[in-house]
Amino acid sequence: MSDDYYYNQSGYPPATPQPDAPPSYHGTQSGFGGYSQQSSYDSEGRRPFGYHHGYGEPLMEQEDNDQFFLSVAPSAQKQKVDYKLSDCRGRKRALLIGINYFNTPNELNGCINDVHNIKNFIMELYGFKEEDMVILTDDQSEPQFIPTRANIISAMQWLVNDAQENDSFFFHYSGHGGFVEDTSGDEADGMDETIYPVDHDKYEGTSGQIIDDELHDILVKPLPAGCRLTALFDSCHSATVLDLPFTYSTKGTVKDQNLFKDAGKGLLEAGLAYAASGDRGAALSSIMELGQQLFKIRNVEDMNREELSSPADVIMFSGCKDDQTSADATEAGKATGAMSYALTSTLRENPRQSYKELLNSVRDILREKYSQRPQLSSSHPLDVDLEFVC
């Protein structure tokens, strides 16, 4: 198939001339974050391990209640977002992180396999080169390639350093995810989503985790207009882990918070309380409190779309909703993250999928065995009928 087939579709900018040879990042890596060219990374020779548990138990998925979401077309948003799509024909870099947390109570099995799978996937389908990748896994012997908090932050800074229009960067994280109390006021649910470096327990309290605000500041804010970052988070509680302000339903519409569902539940509770006690004042007080909560959620969403939108072209697929876990699974006889497996499998089978088709394909694969619902989000209003590129 032609290298240009997915770049020449209507909606993407005209392709920029491809350089005779892709620029080398070896000097950049050496001078930024201490990275020299990484020895060839392969799954062979790693310490063996077997699948024995998951952190998202395989379950039948419930129906996706998209009808409970307020859906609005991107053109209907109050804030106009200035952005530019990337043609993904510039420089390519990738940062791939897989953490199995060996010899800990929360050991995982498939995260390092995910890195190997994703590395081959983006090389074979999208033209990334191994010399332009940094791989952090907790089975390596060189200290700078262990996924500690400091190394992850340094590697993220390397990834986006000197970003330019039409560059294409790929970020993959497979490991534990969590949440902590939000202190900045940008979370409607009051919680920041996090990832867990391998040394997170060496820090006081939750400070060893990397929160979504920090991930956004490092990976998204430095990017110029027309620079693509494709992020794949195969971790628990990951729907908003990059703080991207636009999240899409399987129908391709922008999802707001569950306002209708929350309102209906609150009104029902107020009605039942009134029926039981006859206390009209208490019922009205409950309704007023509900209205204040919904108003706060709407204000947070409006603020985030204004403050967290980006002129860059940032797309994220995440393994689950913020209140769900992502499965550490076994597929095709091999330990793997369910999300990483589903996304690479469906794109290998059919590389020419739109963003909406890809979201639905991944959900269809996982629906058979897992309760998690993968999410698609972006830094700008997204035409979900465009073909996925990176």
| Residues acting as catalytic residues | 176, 236
In the chain, what is the greatest distance between 2 CA atoms, to the nearest angstrom?
Answer: 79
Token pair of 295 as six digits: 């108003």
Q: Are 193 and 176 in contact (CB under 8 A)?
A: no
Measured distance CA(69)–CA(268) in Å, rounded: 18
Q: Measured on CA atoms in the order 90, 84, 115, 195, is the torsion positive or negative? A: positive
Cα distance between residue 27 and residue 172, in whole Å: 23
Give the dihedral sign, CA 284/290/291/296. positive
- Could you tell me whether strands 92-98 and 133-137 are parallel, antiparallel, or unpaired per DSSP bridges? parallel
Count CB neighbours of 288 within 10 A: 11
* Strands of the chain, DSSP E: 71-72, 92-98, 133-137, 168-174, 177-181, 191-195, 210-211, 228-234, 246-248, 254-255, 313-318, 328-331, 334-337, 375-378
Q: At residue 328, what is the residue type?
A: D
Whole-angstrom distance, CA of residue 193 vs CA of residue 197: 14
Q: Using an 8 Å Cβ cutoff, are 253 and 72 in contact?
A: yes
Stated as kind and residue range, the H or E segment containing 157 is: helix 149-160
